Structure 1
Amino acid sequence: MSMLLEVSGVSVSFDGFKAINNLTFQIGPAEMRAVIGPNGAGKTTFMDIVTGKTRPDEGRVLWGEKSQSLLRMSESQIARAGVGRKFQRPTVFEDQTVAENLMLALKKARGPMSVLRFRAGKQDREKVGALAEEIGLAGALARKAGELSHGQKQWLEIGMLLAQEPRLLLVDEPAAGMTPAEREHTTALLVEAAKTRAVVVVEHDMEFVRRLDCRVTVLHEGSVLAEGSLDFVTSNERVIEVYLGR
């Protein structure tokens, strides 16, 4: 199977501290992956490198069928190429409605004039309706985003990312602060998204990772410590030692 994203031999240091150390990581075009590891393992820096926020000192980050180098692209070019990232705290436009948030996020030409001239057509409204249905907010389209619960704001932000039609979705600790029912819906949402794109979930919550039922990559000191099913990695002696504790 051809890979969508290939990270190989990537290292980056900050003030002499090696945040990422000869990291190698691959994911296919329609695959779910959970990334776990102790604090300081390099999980955030890994996402920063893939999205162009941090430039590594060495290594390669290749993208898509043509193996383009993401390291030659700016953050905005990487986003346009199909890499979407959701941070831990939801960032939605609180004074806009759910429908307006989704409409703003639709994949469109982004020049200043095209933004000013934009008028939502029937197709746009249908797309917003379908997205709202997918994220479980079809009944809340007219509500202001600021009125939503924490979990609903997380779903709205995932919907806004899906509106941009990314081929890879990087999601940081989506289950944090959610009720059990919200976590269940979030699981279903991400599993569904991974049927048509690559989804990488960085998470601490083992129960949530188990529900995702996917391959797991364990990072430690900036490199891959173990990879495989959750049962496989959690029975690894080194993983138990450095992350899970005795």
Structure 2
Amino acid sequence: MSTLLEVSGVSVTFDGFKAINNLSFSIGHAELRAIIGPNGAGKTTFMDIVTGKTRPDEGRIVWGGKSRSLLNMSEARIACEGIGRKFQKPTVFEDQSVQENLLMALKKDRGPLAVLFYRPQAADLERVRALAEEIGLADQLYRKSGELSHGEKQWLEIGMLLAQEPRLLLVDEPAAGMTSSEREHTTALLIEAAKTRAVVVVEHDMEFIRRLNCRVTVLHEGAVLAEGSLDHVTRNQDVIDVYLGR
């Protein structure tokens, strides 16, 4: 499997605290990966580095398998390259309908004139209908997003990211606050998304991770502690000591 993202020897220090310590990580073009670890392990900082929000002190981040460095790119450029990020708290336009949220997120020319004179075409509306079907909101297209349940807002935000056609999707704790049935649907949604792009899920819910049935990377003190199947890493004595034993 060819590599989409490769992080090599990356470190970053905040006020003397090493948040990321010689971290190396790679993921393929169509792969689902879960990242786990105790609070302070570096999970959020890792995502900040990949999206350009935080610049590392040292190391390399190669993108697209073509020796292109993300370190020379702005946050906006990295987003245009196809790296999308979903934060834990859903951020949707609550006064707009599900359809309007998805239309705004479609991958389009975003110049000032293009935005000012934009009118959705038939192909845009069809794409939005397909996205709504994919995320399980086909029957909620004309509903105000603020009226959706917490889980439905999470799905809408994932749909908005998918509308941008990302090659890598970073998802932070998608199962938090969801009902059991919502977690099941979210699992299916992420597994389906990973068939055509790389998806990295940061999560604490071990049962949710087990449902994802994917490779797991365990972070501790800013470095990779263990990697493999969930059964493999949860049998690792170091992982038990620093994470599961708490």
> TM-score scaled to structure 1, two decimals?
0.99
What are the superposed Cα offsets for residues 80-122 of structure 1, whole Å, 9 maximum, x if unpaired?
A: 0000000000000000000000000000011111100111000
What are the superposed Cα offsets for residues 172-203 of structure 1, whole Å, 9 maximum, x if unpaired?
A: 00000000000000000000000000000000
Partner of 1:122: 122
**3-state SS in 2 of match to 1:142:** coil
1:33 aligned onto 2:7: no
What are the superposed Cα offsets for residues 127-170 of structure 1, whole Å, 9 maximum, x if unpaired?
A: 00000000000000000000000000000000000000000000
Structure 1: runs of 5+ lacking an equivalent: none
**3-state SS in 2 of match to 1:183:** helix
Partner of 1:158: 158
Partner of 2:243: 243
The offset of 1:56, in angstroms, is: 0.1
2:204 & 2:34 partners in 1: Cα distance? Answer: 10
Name which of structure 1's ranges 52-61 and 63-72 shifts more when overlaid on structure 2: 63-72
**3-state SS in 2 of match to 1:4:** strand
Partner of 1:76: 76
1:1-246 map, 5 Å: 1-245=1-245
Percent identical residues: 80
1:43 & 1:168 partners in 2: Cα distance? Answer: 16
Query: Aligned pairs, how many?
Result: 246
> In the alignment, residue 175 of structure 2 is paired with which amino acid?
A
2:243 & 2:93 partners in 1: Cα distance? Answer: 37
- Runs of at least 4 residues of structure 1 off by over 3 A? none
1:4 & 1:108 partners in 2: Cα distance? Answer: 23
**3-state SS in 1 of match to 2:3:** coil
The offset of 1:65, in angstroms, is: 2.9
**3-state SS in 1 of match to 2:9:** strand
The offset of 1:66, in angstroms, is: 1.5
1:239 & 1:123 partners in 2: Cα distance? Answer: 49
Structure 2: runs of 5+ lacking an equivalent: none
> In the alignment, residue 35 of structure 1 is paired with which amino acid?
I
2:174 & 2:94 partners in 1: Cα distance? Answer: 19
What are the superposed Cα offsets for residues 202-240 of structure 1, whole Å, 9 maximum, x if unpaired?
A: 000000000000000000000000000000000000000
2:186 & 2:7 partners in 1: Cα distance? Answer: 27
1:163 & 1:66 partners in 2: Cα distance? Answer: 25
> TM-score scaled to structure 2, two decimals?
0.99
The offset of 1:2, in angstroms, is: 1.8
The offset of 1:125, in angstroms, is: 0.2
